[in-house]
Structures are given as C-alpha cells and as structure tokens.
Amino acid sequence: MRDIDELRELRDFDTGAPPLDDATRQRARARLLAAIDGPAARVRPRRPVLRIALTAGLAAAVAAGVLVAVRHDDGTTTHRTAKPPATSAPAMRNVSAQTVLKGAAAYERAHARTASPRDDQFIYTKEIIKETNQKTGVTKSYVDENWRSVDGSQRSWIMEIGHGWWSPPLKKGESVWPPQDWGTLRKLPTDPKQLILSLKNEYGGHTTSLDDLSDEDWSQIHFSLAGLLKLVPVMPEGLRPAAYEALGMVPGVKVVPDQKDAKGRTGVAITYVDPTLPKGSRSFGGYFIFDPVTYEFLGFRDQRTSGDGAAMKTYTQLSYLDSWAVVDRVKERP
C-alpha cells in the first residue's frame, strides 16, 4: 500500500502542478523499482565506523549508539517543488535543497583555500562549539584544537568539548569512514554522481546507475556523505563541492529556513528525513546551515545527550570551523 500511495502522490504532482525536482523524481523511481521487485526484504549493509569527531560530541554519541537528533520546526514536507533562488531570507522557504547545495558547491569552488600538504605534516584545525542545556538554558563555549597526521602514519591530537587525547595511527589492514589521511581523501571522486556510486560500491556489489539505488542504499549514502562533511573539515581541492552536490541528490534531503548559527546569524539549513527508519525515529546528520543569499557554509547544529534515564541531559550544539593550517609538528600553532 505504501508504494501505491507514493504513486498516487506522484500522480497528484503531475496534475496541474509544476514539474518535480530531481530528488523527488529519483525517490519515486526508486520506490517504483522496489515495488516491481516484490516484497522480499532487503539486507541493509552495516554502517561504517566514524572514527574521529571534529564536531564536539558527535563521535561519542555515535559510539554510544545515540544518533544526532533532528528537530523539524518548519513543518514542511519532503516533497518540494524547486523555485528560483531568492535574494532575501523569507523567500528561502521556496528554495529546494538542491538549489542550496549547488549554491554551496559553487561558493566553495570560488572561495575555498587549497592545500598540498606533505605526508609528514599535520592539518591543524580550530573549532568553536557552543553547547546549550535544553532544560536549564545554560550555554558553555569550547575551543577544540586538532592536529591530524596527513598520511595517518603518526599519532594525532584530537579534542572534543575541551577534552583531548592522542589518536594512534591505523593498524595495517584497518580502514574507517570517513578517511582522515590525505592520500585516501585525494582518491575520492570529485564528480558528485561518481562519488555516490563509489560509496555504494564500497559496501558491496557493482552499481553504475543512480536509478538502481534503493531507499536503504540512499540512507547509507547519506550517512557516509554527512560523516565526510561533518568530520573532515579540510579536504583536497574539489572534494567538498562534490560532496555538497552529491548530498543534494539524496532523496529525503530538505530545507529548513530561519536557523541560527553559532554567531547568531540566520541561515537556511539542510537536513535529512530517512524513509527507512520507523516513524518518529531520528536520523543521523543534524543541520548544515548556509547563508541564505550567498550559500556560504556557516556551521553545524546538532543535538547531544549524556547520562541515562532521569539523569539524561540534552544539549543543542552549534559549531563552526574558526581556522585551519598545515603545520610541521603536532601541537604547533600557525
């Protein structure tokens, strides 16, 4: 019945309505193919491990099995018709997720700094995190400084909400997602479609068309793209724009207007509604906040919990990358 309802919804879109955007059309096609294949249950691949959290609290939440919570406070639905970009924030309610993420990719290509670090160097990042207790309203700020080995052969210094530790190099044969070493990152495709297909094929099988991807495949791909964008603040040239555009191709990615970043600026956010999860469940990803006019990336909004039962505390996290540099030694500041 779910697939029949989806097709009826698709029919209603085509009757006297503007054309569907690419993301909606892609999702409808995937559901139709799933319906043709029959009711057999699909085996969902095991999610890759997120090794290091550059956004404060995220790795601890994933390791504990607590996914980042998303609150959809604008009440919009997943199916939206793309309209031309606006020049003011209120009109952003009518802009599609693809428009925002293509704009973000274009901004990144035009303004991003590039780097060509040596294997024996380190990527230094300084991140600012503002965390508010949702019950008490108390806000605390943290400055996290990280030194990540370029080729992964040396131990790295990682900080999370003001606490730091030494992260050892990967052992022989080990691999994680997202990759942290520059050599592996450089091998990832900088074409958005090919990036999606490489992520899918990494989990098994061989797919050459986005039309063959199921809801489960798209859920896995979103998880990987969100992890890449959230946990790797500095990338080889062209990779971040490709990841933005690839994220815009994921069915279920939507726009949430009027979101505040850590500096108090009002932006437009991108989040994800995962159709494979039970109704009411929270999907991984949080909010990616962008300037509503230029599409410059402003920062993240996440939710973190600590403790259990009655002692559980819930925090809203706002974070952004303050600065980064290539340095020769761990703990060396630019």
Q: 258 or 51: which carries more pLDDT confidence?
A: 258
Residue 272 lies in a domain: yes
Asked if the structure places residue 245 within a domain, the reply is: yes
Look at the chain and report how many structural domains it folds into.
1
Q: Which residue has the higher pLDDT, 46 or 154?
A: 154
Overall average pLDDT of the 196-200 stretch? 93
The residue among 132 and 53 whose pLDDT is bigger is: 132
pLDDT band at residue 180 under the 50/70/90 scheme: confident
| 293 within 8 A of 104, measured Cβ to Cβ | no
In 3D space, the residue among 278, 281, 289 whose CA is nearest the CA of residue 255 turns out to be 289
What predicted TM-score, i.e. pTM, was given to this entire model? 0.73
Any idea which of 9-23, 83-97, 283-297 has the lowest mean pLDDT? 9-23
Residues contacting 141, CB < 8 A, separation 6+: 128, 129, 130, 131
In a domain, 334, yes or no: no
> Which residues on adjacent β-strands are paired with residue 203?
none
Range of the domain at 219: 2-327
pLDDT at 86: 40
pLDDT of 87 reads 40
Q: Residue 333 falls within a domain, yes or no?
A: no
Q: What is the mean pLDDT of residues 261-280?
A: 91
Q: Average pLDDT in the 133-160 region?
A: 95
pLDDT of residue 94: 66
For residue 57, is it within any domain? yes
Q: Does position 66 have pLDDT exceeding 70, yes or no?
A: no
In this prediction, residue 281 carries a pLDDT of: 67
- Considering the chain, what is the average pLDDT of its residues? 79
Is the preceding omega at residue 275 within 30 degrees of 0, hence cis?
A: no
- What span, in angstroms and rounded, lies between the C-alpha atoms of 328 and 106? 31
255, part of any domain: yes
